[in-house]
A and B are shown apart, each in its own frame.
Chain A
Amino acid sequence: MEAAASLANVNMHLRPVPDPKPPPKAAQRDTVPSIAELERWATVLRIDCVRMLAVAKSGHLDSSLSAADIVAALYYRVLRHDPDEPEWAERDRFVLSKGHAAPIQYAALAQHGYFPLRDLMGLRQIGAHLQGHPDMNRTPGVEVSTGSLGQGLSMSLGIALALRLDGLDSTSQVFALLSDGDCQEGQTWEAAMASSHFGVGNLTAIVDYNHLQTDGTTEEVMDIADVRAKFEAFDWDAVEIDGHDMNQVIEALERSRTLDHPAAIVCQTRKGRGVSSMESRFGFHGKPPSAEQAEEALSELEATLERQTAALDATADDSPGGEG
C-alpha cells in the first residue's frame, strides 16, 4: 500500500516536461543560443532539480536554483565542451566548488547527453552514480570531486596551472562556482592570493552570493560583506552583477575569458530562485521539498517554461533563423 503510494508520487514527478527540445551539442553548434533561449534552459534545469529532489527526498534544492541561470549560461553557451568526448584535452573546465548544488550540474550534464536523463532520478540513491556531491570517478563530466567547501578554487587554480604548462591556457578557461560558504572558508582566500601571484589568466571565479546559509542569513551567521572588494584586494579583476540577469551573466563570463588576469564575478542571487514560495526564504537549505511543495514548485516552473517557450516561438515566427 505504502509502496504503491510512493510509486504514484514518483510517477507524478516524472511526468514529461513540456517541450524538451534536444539541446545543441556545443562542439557542433551552428547557432549560439539567444538570451531568451538560455533563460528557458535555466527553467528546464530548475524543473529537473525539483523532480530529482522530490524523488530523492534529500539534497539541496534552493542552492541549486540560485545557480541555475549561471549554470545554464555556462553549459549552453560559454563552456567549450563536448559531451561525446568528455576528456577532450582542450575543453574548458567547470568546477562546482559549492558541491552541494550538484543537482543543477547533474541536470545540465544530463541535458547535454553526458549520461541518460533517467539517471537523474537515481540521485543520492544506493548504487546510482549521482552522488550527494559531485564525484569525478563516478559521473562523466565532473572534473574534480567537491563537497567540502573552500577547496574548489584551489583545485581550479591547479587545473589552470596544468593547462598553462600544456600550453592550453589561451584556449581553455577554468570556471569555478563558489558559494557564500566557500567565501567563509579561509582556503578560498589562500587560492585567491596564489592565483594572482602565479599570474593565471585562464581562471574565473563565480560567486553565487545568495545570502542564505544553513543557520541563517550570511549577514547574521558570518557576514562576507563586499566579496567583490575582497577579490579586488587580492589583485583580481572583480565585477558584481545580477546573477539572474542572463545578459549580465553572459557578458561577464565571456569577458572573463578575454582577461590575462584571474577574474571574479560576484553574482547577487536569490536562493530558491524561480519558486516563489522558496525564494530568499530561510529554512530550505539542505531540506528536500515535500510532495506538495514539489508539486507547487513544478506548477510554477512549468508555467514559466510555457510562457518562455511561447515567447520564443512567437519570436521565431517573426524572424525565422534569427538569433534573438
Chain B
Amino acid sequence: MPAEAKTEPIATRHGYGDALVDLGEAHEDVVALDADLAVSTQSMKFGRKFPERFFNVGTAEANMMSMACGLAATGKRPYCSTFAVFAAGRAYDQVRLGIAHNELPVRIGASHGGVSLGEDGASHQMIEDIALMRAMPNMQVIVPADYNQAYRATAESYDSDRPMYMRFGRPSTPIVYESIPETLGDGVDVLRHGKDITLIACGHMVWRALEAAESLEREDGVEAEVLNVAIVKPVDTETILESISKTGVAVTAEEHRVVGGLADAVRQVAAEEHPVPIFPVGMGDEFGISGTGEACMEHFGLTPRGIADRAREALVLKPIVSHPPLIGPEWT
C-alpha cells in the first residue's frame, strides 16, 4: 500500500478520502458519488483523479443512495459520501430499501458525524446515525478512531460484500494508531490494559478515553482498560466480555446519543452475557448547538474530564462483589 501513516492531528475524513483514491487506483469497479459536499467529505480527491467514475448529484441525497443501488446491482462498488445527517437521516428510506434490503456492496462514507462539526449547529450535528444504522437490518457500522484507522477501514471495506455505514468526523483529531493498522480485525482493540474499570469508546472519543485513563491513573491510582470499538455493528462480544468480566464495571463514550449507539451495543452484550454496571457518556435527550467544535464537545461533557468523572462515579457504584470500591484522593 502506498499510504503513509499520519503522526500529526488530522481529521478521519481525510483517511477516507485518501484511501478512496487508492481504492480507485487498485479497482476499476470502484465508483464514488457525492451530494455537493465533495470538498468537505474528501471524495473530491477521487473525483479529480477519476472524473468518469465520479458522480456529483448536487444536493439530492435520496437520488444518490438509490443511484448507488442501481450501480451496485450492475456490478460496481459505490462509495456514497455526504454529511452523516443527510446520509442516515434524509436518505434513510433509500438506504434501507435500495442498499440494506438488497444486501448490495454500497459503502456510505458519512462525514461530519456528531457535534464536533461545530458552528453549523443542531441542523447539521448528527447524533443518532449510529442508532439508525445499527437498527437497520444487514447494515455494518464502522466508526474509526483516527486518520490511520479510517484509512484502513476504508481500504478494507472494498472486500466486504455487504452494505456498510462508515462514520467520519470534521475536526483534526490526535493520532491513536502510530501506523496504519494492518486490519480492523474483529473491530475491538485493547489500547491500554487495566484491571479496575473498562473505558469503551468509539471515534473521536477514543483519544479522549485514553487521556481520561491517564488522569485516572495519575490522580486516583486507578488502572483503566481502554477499548476502541471501531466496528460498532456487528460488535465483537469476546473482547468486551473479557474486559468487563475482569474489571466488573465500564464507561462507554461516544459522540452520539446514549440511546441506540455504542452504549446500547455494550449494555446489550453485558446484560445478556455478563451483567455489570455500564455508565454511558454521550448525548442525552437533546440536540446540539452552535459553537466551535471543541466548545460543543465541552458543552456536552464529551471530554477526557467528562469520561474520567463518569468513571469515578462508576467506581463508587461498582459492585462490592467484584472489587472493593475504589476511593480516589478527592473523595476522601
Residues of chain A touching chain B, judged by Cβ–Cβ distance below 8 Å, are 93, 95, 135-137, 143-148, 150-152, 154-163, 165-166, 186-187, 190-191, 193-194, 197-198
Interface of A is mostly: helix
CB distance from A177 to the nearest CB of B (A): 15
5 A-B pairs with the lowest CB-CB distances in the bound complex, closest first: A158-B70, A154-B66, A162-B74, A190-B63, A158-B67
Pick the interface stretch among B93-101, B111-119, B164-172, B193-201: B93-101
Tell me how far the C-beta of B10 lies from the nearest C-beta in chain A, rounded to whole angstroms: 32
- B70/A165 in contact, CB under 8 A: no
Contact of A162 with B70 at beta-carbon distance under 8 Å, contacts A145-B97, A145-B98 already known: yes
B97 touches A165 (CB 8 A): no
- The segment from B51-59, B304-312, B322-330 that touches chain A is B51-59
**Residues of chain B having any CB pair with chain A under 8 Å:** 31, 52-53, 55, 57-58, 60, 62-63, 65-76, 78, 93-94, 96-98, 101-103
Taking CB atoms, residues of chain B closer than 8 Å to A194 are: 57-58, 60, 63, 67
The answer to whether residues A144 and B70 also contact, given A162-B75, A187-B63 and a CB cut-off of 8 A, is: yes
With beta carbons under 8 angstroms apart, the residue of B68, B101, B103 that contacts A158 is B68
Instruction: State how many angstroms separate the Cβ of A254 from the closest Cβ of chain B.
Output: 23
Across the interface, do B97 and A136 meet the contact criterion of CB distance under 8 Å? no
By the criterion CB–CB under 8 Å, are B93 and A155 in contact? no
Evaluate contact between A157 and B70: CB separation under 8 angstroms.
Answer: yes
B66 adjacent to A187 (CB under 8 Å): yes
B52, B67, B93 — most chain A CB neighbours (10 Å): B67
Contact call A156/B102, Cβ cutoff below 8 A: no
20 more A-B residue pairs beyond the given contacts A150-B62, A157-B63, A193-B58, with a C-beta to C-beta distance below 8 A: A135-B101, A144-B69, A145-B97, A145-B102, A148-B97, A151-B66, A154-B63, A154-B65, A154-B66, A154-B69, A155-B70, A158-B71, A158-B74, A161-B71, A163-B74, A165-B52, A165-B53, A191-B67, A194-B60, A194-B63
Nearest Cβ on chain B to A219's Cβ, whole angstroms: 26
Are A159 and B93 touching (Cβ within 8 A)? no
Minimum C-beta distance from B87 to chain A (A): 15
Residues of A within 8 A of B68 (CB): 158
* Cβ contacts under 8 Å, A143 to chain B: 73
> What residues of A have a CB within 8 angstroms of the CB of B65 in the complex?
154
Q: Are A159 and B71 in contact (CB under 8 A)?
A: yes
Residues of A within 8 A of B66 (CB): 151-152, 154-155, 158, 187, 191
Q: How far is the CA of A151 from the CA of B101 in the complex (A)?
A: 14
* Interchain CA distance A41-B325 in the complex, whole Å: 80
Given A136-B73, A147-B97: A155 touches B67 (CB 8 Å cut-off): yes
Could you tell me the distance between the alpha carbons of A198 and B56 in the complex, rounded to whole angstroms? 10
